[in-house]
A and B are shown apart, each in its own frame.
Chain A
Amino acid sequence: MLLFLLAAALVCDSLPAGFVASSASLEYNVKAAFLLNFTRFVDWPPATFTGSDSPLTICILGDDPFGRAIDQIAEGESTNRHKITVERIRADQPKSCQVLYIPSGKPLPAAFIATPSAVLTVGEGEDFLRQGGIIAFALDNGHVRFDVNLKAASNAGLKLSSKLLSVARSIER
């Protein structure tokens, strides 16, 4: 467990020195870092962004399991000059998102299944992929890993980097 914590801390070496991870939120700290890193291995269609420096928004649907950790991780970060912003949204009020995190137990909103949504949907568990989600977190020997539904990504009009695929636990095609 200590190893896991250390790894998480190292992955997010840009975290402020004052940040102290509580044991309950360690898993989500890692997942928050992964969320940020996913943006770096995914190509969105050019029409997704209104401008070259328009923000890249990570939306968290419903209850937020990350807390302030994700805000701290995304603080000052950018991907391909798109500033990273974090939004918390509700299902009945969809907003313009590039990454949508759906917490465990919540169904994938239909709007994001429609093609091409150009939204990277990230959820929890293998069921999420079966619903049409693109990336699903999984725990493997206490390590955070993820699975990929490549077909869903393709339907959404997204291109996933082969490097991302090379570290995925499993890939559905």
Chain B
Amino acid sequence: MTNTGKPMCRAAMRLLAVAVLSAGLAACSGMQPYNFVAVDEIPPGPGLISGEAGEFVLYRR
């Protein structure tokens, strides 16, 4: 089988460069920061039992 890894690597590098440049342009075009939550985190928002808070406050002072 033909080794297609290297062409794919080059394509990947180009795409990565485009993504980085796009993000840079976005940052300079009036975008406001917001808190992105990673996909492997417990999602933000209400919980079934905890309600709007989305978490139980066990202790607070």
A binds B: no
Binding site for A on B (CB under 8 A): none
